[in-house]
Structures are given as structure tokens and as C-alpha cells.
Amino acid sequence: MAEKLTKKQLKAQQFKKSKEEREHDKSLKRAAEQEPAEEPAPAPKKRKTRRGKKGKSRQEHHNRFIVFVGNLDKETSQTELQAHFKSSSPDHIRLRPDKGIAFLEFEPKDNIQRRMDVALLQHKTILKGRQINVELTVGGGGNSNDRLQKLQQKNEKLINERRERIRNMVKQDKSSEKSSEKRQADQNTTNGVHPDRAKLLQ
């Protein structure tokens, strides 16, 4: 006797594929796996832009050279910083009063190296009663080992350049003192007479 099927079994039977259909589907899957389907390369994803950039890509901007300024008073204003670094004329100043730091940005122009050197000479100067630090930076953020090494190398190089600059200044001062002493000695011995004429008189 044939058993009577429940509604659930009848519905399952309607959706159940026949043996032939199942074998046909399996053969199609095997063929698809054996032949690697050549799919078109996925289109490159568009990079999201920040709203402030207004769709401009970063490649349009040139490299920026950034100098770090630390140990600032928390009440230091943008105009005070601008006045202090007037001689180096930075293009942009990013001030972080909550942390007591600032970043001076220099865009590439014909005299950028001189401007950055002038800014770096402001190291250990006094601003609002505090001795400020002015140092080079390495792009990016975080504390990765590579970045810290680059920063350390740049700062060591800067320290060596500062030492060399001080040595040269001391040498120039000594040479100018010697030359001024020599001039005074020459003037004292000749008593207002030209040295060649003094030789003739002797």
C-alpha cells in the first residue's frame, strides 16, 4: 500500500530535483572548476577623499617640508608664532595648543633650504618665557621602528651641522679679532705714515 504523504513531504518533493538534473548540475560545476574562467580584471577602487579636499588628489600637492616646534606655552597664539619665525617665513603653521606643539610647513620654492635652516636656528630660543625646541620631522605618524630610526638619523645630522656652524662662527670671530689686532698694531707702529714710506725713512 502506498503511504499517504504529508503536506510537508509533498512540498519537498516538488522542489526536489530528479537524479538526472542533479547529475547534470554536478557535471556543469566540474567543467567550471576545470576551466579557469577568464574574468575581467576588477576595476581599480576609487579612493575616498575627505570633504575638505573637495575631490583633489594628494598627487597634485608637492612634498611639504615640516619642522616640529615643541615646549610651547599653551596660550601661544598663531600670530606670536608667526612673529617669532618671521625670518624663516613658513608657508603654513599648524598649532596644537592643547599639546603645546606646532608644525611649520614649508612648500618647495627656490630658497626652501635657507628658510628651513633659519627656522632650525631658532632652536632653544625663548618664546613667552619658555625655551622652545625646533627639530626636523619625518613624514607620517606613529612609532614604527623605521620612522624612529629616520628621525634619529635626521636629528643627529642636524646636531652635527649645528656644531659645525658654531665652530665656523668661532673661527670667524677669532680670525676677525686677529686681523683687527694686526691692523691696530700696524697703525700704532707707523704713526699715520704709510708703511712703504716708513721703510724709506729708515
> What would the DSSP string read from start to end of 60-84?
GSPP-EEEEEES--TT--HHHHHHH
pLDDT of the residue at 126: 93
pLDDT of the residue at 194: 79
pLDDT of the residue at 163: 83
Give kind and range of the element (H or E) at residue 103: strand 101-106
Task: Say how far apart CA 64 and CA 104 lie, in whole Å.
Answer: 10
Per-residue pLDDT of the chain (202 residues; tens, 9 = 90+): 567 888 888 878 777 777 778 888 888 888 777 765 555 556 666 666 666 555 555 544 557 788 999 999 999 999 999 999 999 889 899 999 999 999 999 888 778 888 888 898 898 899 999 999 998 887 666 778 887 888 788 878 888 887 888 888 888 888 888 777 777 766 666 567 777 887 887 7
Q: Map residue 94 onto helix, strand or coil.
A: strand
Class of residue 115 by CB neighbours under 10 A (exposed 0-12, middle 13-18, buried 19+): buried
pLDDT of the residue at 84: 93
Task: Say how far apart CA 101 and CA 38 lie, in whole Å.
Answer: 55
Q: Map residue 93 onto helix, strand or coil.
A: strand
H, E, C per residue of 129-168: CEECEEEECCCCCCCCHHHHHHHHHHHHHHHHHHHHHHHH
Q: Which residue has the cell 700704532?
A: 188
- Give yes or no for a contact between 93 and 82, defined as CB atoms under 8 angstroms apart: yes
pTM above 0.75, yes or no: no
Instruction: Measure CA 20 to chain center.
Output: 67
